[in-house]
Chains A and B, each alone.
Chain A
Amino acid sequence: DAGVIQSPRHEVTEMGQEVTLRCKPISGHDYLFWYRQTMMRGLELLIYFNNNVPIDDSGMPEDRFSAKMPNASFSTLKIQPSEPRDSAVYFCASSLAGRQYFGPGTRLTVL
């Protein structure tokens, strides 16, 4: 298996632009998680899905953030409009039986 796939790996954008991050989980996994990691705040859980249904989005910082999982093999995290304080590494992870498998992350820089 190729593992969790995230795209793009790096994204540089200007403040106010829309950003879409993509994730393909491992086939057969029933949970999908979106995390954000920064030096200041560490690893934060933004939202997670079970069988494509959002379970807990209490970690989503603002209405500017939204996430979807239209099917078991794809999820997106969208930021609109983006701000410099959104700069971070965003990780997607999928899991089966408690163990999480992380993707390589998307490094987002908002100028």
Chain B
Amino acid sequence: AQSVTQLDSQVPVFEEAPVELRCNYSSSVSVYLFWYVQYPNQGLQLLLKYLSGSTLVKGINGFEAEFNKSQTSFHLRKPSVHISDTAEYFCAVSETNAGKSTFGDGTTLTVKP
């Protein structure tokens, strides 16, 4: 069975500061990894995904994530956040060739002016 742990439930940060949202996973097989963002009163939308290849993955809105197999981590980073990045962020893992993803509990990112 696979699991996802998002290490921080809430991350407050000032505008233009860097941010890292942490995600660890466990799985006995190869996985796909995803970060989704949920803005207020909306559904989740994909930020970025790791399927294979380069361990550094770039997504939309200036976000990137690094897959670290030895540490079973997939942390999300952005060098300079904006007020509009305030949202909830979900890390998800899917075993390759399986349709179902396991989601973390989410991290609420609050960007302050």
* With A42-B105, A43-B90, A43-B106: A103-B43 Cβ-Cβ less than 8 Å: yes
Nearest opposing residue in chain B for A31, CB measure: B99
User: Which of A14-22, A72-80, A94-102 lies at the interface with chain B?
Assistant: A94-102
B51 contacts the other chain (Cβ, under 8 Å)? Answer: yes
On chain B, the number of residues with a Cβ less than 8 Å from chain A's Cβ atoms is 21
**A interface secondary structure, majority:** strand
Contact A56 B100 (CB under 8 A): yes
Contact B46 A99 (CB under 8 A): yes
B103 contacts the other chain (Cβ, under 8 Å)? Answer: yes
Bound Cα distance A33, B96 (Å): 17
Contact A98 B106 (CB under 8 A): no
User: How many A-B residue contacts, CB cutoff 8 Å?
Assistant: 54
CB neighbours (8 Å) of A100 from chain B are 34, 36, 44, 46, 92, 101
CB neighbours (8 Å) of A45 from chain B are 100, 103
Give 14 CB contacts A-B under 8 Å: A31-B100, A33-B100, A43-B103, A43-B106, A48-B100, A93-B44, A95-B101, A98-B49, A98-B94, A100-B92, A100-B101, A102-B43, A104-B42, A105-B43
A82-111 contacts to B, CB under 8 A, are 91, 93, 95, 98-105
CB neighbours (8 Å) of A99 from chain B are 34, 46, 49
Known: A43-B90, A98-B99. 16 other contacts (CB 8 A): A31-B99, A31-B100, A42-B106, A43-B103, A45-B103, A55-B99, A56-B100, A91-B43, A93-B44, A98-B34, A98-B101, A99-B49, A100-B36, A100-B92, A102-B36, A104-B42
